[in-house]
Amino acid sequence: MALRVQQTDDANTFLVFGRGILHLSVLIETMRREGYEMTIGQPQVILREIDGVSCEPYESLVVDVPEEYASRVIDLATQRKGDLHIMETKGEMQHMEFEIPSRGLIGLRSQMLTATAGEAIMAHRFTEYKPFKGAIPGRNNGVLISKTQGPATEYSINKLQDRGKFFVDPGEEIYTGMIIGEQNKPGDLVVNIVEAKQLNNMRAAGKIKIPVLHRKSYSLLKNVWNISRLMKPSR
Summarised one tens digit per residue, pLDDT across range 129-153 is 999 998 887 767 888 999 999 999 9
The answer to whether 15 touches 6, Cβ cutoff 8 Å, is yes
What is the pLDDT, as a whole number, of residue 235?
40
Please say whether the beta carbons of 73 and 63 come within 8 A.
Answer: yes
Contact present, 139 and 58 (Cβ < 8 Å): no
| Amino acid symbol at 94 | Q
**Distance of CA 193 to CAs 46, 207, 215, Å?**
38, 24, 14
Q: pLDDT tens across 25-57, in order?
A: 888 889 888 988 787 877 888 899 999 999 999
Give the burial class of 223: count Cβ atoms within 10 A of its Cβ; 0-12 exposed, 13-18 middle, 19 or more buried: middle
Q: What is the pLDDT of residue 60?
A: 96
Mean pLDDT score across all residues of the chain: 83
List per-block mean pLDDT (blocks of 10 residues) for the chain, which spans 235 residues.
84 86 85 84 86 94 94 93 94 94 88 91 93 82 89 90 87 89 87 83 54 54 52 42
Strand partners, 66: 93
The residues pairing with 124 across neighbouring beta strands, listed in sequence order, are 61
Q: Output the 3-class SS for 132-180.
A: CCCCCCCCCCCEEEECCCEECCHHHHHHCHHHEEECCCCCCEECCCCEE
Q: How far apart are CA 92 and CA 47, in angstroms?
A: 39
Residue 219 CA to residue 217 CA, distance in Å, equals 7
CA nearest 21: which of 162, 229, 226? 226
